[in-house]
Amino acid sequence: MMSSAQRLSDIQLRIRKACEMANRPVESVSLLAVSKTFPAEAVLDLARLGQTAFGENYLQEAEDKITQLADTPECPTLTWHFIGPVQSNKTKSIASMFAWVHSVDRLKIAQRLSSQRPAELAPLNILLQVNTSGEASKSGLNPAEVEEVASTVAKLPNLNLRGLMTIPNPDHGEEDLQREFLMCKSLMDKLNQTGLHLDTLSMGMSQDLETAIACGSTCVRVGTALFGKRDYSNR
This prediction has a pTM of: 0.95
Per-residue pLDDT band for 173 (boundaries 50, 70, 90) equals: confident
What pLDDT, in 10s, does the model give residues 140-171?
Answer: 999 999 999 999 999 999 999 999 999 988 77
Mean pLDDT of 73-78: 77
pLDDT for position 134: 79
Sequence-distant (≥ 6) Cβ neighbours of residue 113 within 8 angstroms: 86, 91, 94, 95, 101, 104, 124, 126, 158, 159
pLDDT tens per residue, range 182-192? 999 999 999 99
Coil, strand or helix at 53: strand
